[in-house]
Amino acid sequence: MTDATRAGPVVTLDGPAGSGKSTTAREVARRLGFRHLDSGSFYRALTYGLLQAGIGPDRWTGLGRADLDAIGVGVEPSGEGFQVLLESRPLMDEIRSPEVTSLVSTLASLGPVREWLLAIQREAGKRGCLVADGRDMGTVVFPGAEVKVFLTADLLERTRRRLKEQGVTTPTDEQVSQEAARIRERDRDDSERKLSPLRRPEGALELDTTRLTFEQQVETILERVREVSTASAEDDRARE
């Protein structure tokens, strides 16, 4: 059933690192005319902002709401998604650096951080017409989402995709094993943490993308959105 305060549905995509969530979510959002919320970029922006402020991981456990406010990280609707900002300056590739990637899961395990970002994410999604991707979109941030998807893929395939994103198309065995180890470690941290661990949301469509083309995975999700929208319109008509 659609929430009356929303202009349209929320679609969530959760899954481990490199499962293709963000690229898939962006394209699904584009085809639906919805906004894309890349929640990982919020965690990355906060990690980057803290490092820029000279606040290293050894001081993160003591951070409270006022400290997080003082970092100057913000989010604003932009184009077809949301832009993360630091002191009003748009953050781009700097939030995807190896340093940020290696530390982001440590920050994401902290309660005050998750609380602080929860408010921002819910505010961004309150009107619906949203495709949100991350680790806890369907379980914690938008538990009432109309469509929930859990994307997975083999570790090797996810490693290959990650390296390709970094411009490495013919990796050496050593590059593959190093990147696979980094992904495995982040997946373990994200799945084993106490707060909002990576989980398949109840009722989610599980999509293993290892052998699917990009078009197939996008189309499968769009098909689910259409089914749910048709069922909800029929419910509304039956109630009239």
Residues that bind ligand CDP (CB under 6 A): 17-18, 22, 39-40, 43-44, 104-105, 108, 134-137, 186, 190
Cβ atoms of 221 and 149 closer than 8 Å = yes
Three-state DSSP state, 147: strand
- Cα-based distances in Å from 227 to 6, 95, 150, 224, 230: 19, 36, 17, 5, 5
Nearer to ligand CDP, 186 or 227 (CB): 186
Q: How far apart are CA 226 and CA 144, in angstroms?
A: 17
- Name the minimum Å distance from CB 190 to ligand CDP: 5
- Name the minimum Å distance from CB 234 to ligand CDP: 32
Nearer to ligand CDP, 44 or 224 (CB): 44
- Name the minimum Å distance from CB 40 to ligand CDP: 2
Nearer to ligand CDP, 65 or 226 (CB): 65
For residues 123-146, b (16+ Cβ closer than 10 Å) or e, as one string? Answer: ebbeebbbbbbbbbbbbbbbeebb
- Name the minimum Å distance from CB 107 to ligand CDP: 8
Give the CB-nearest residue to ligand CDP: 40
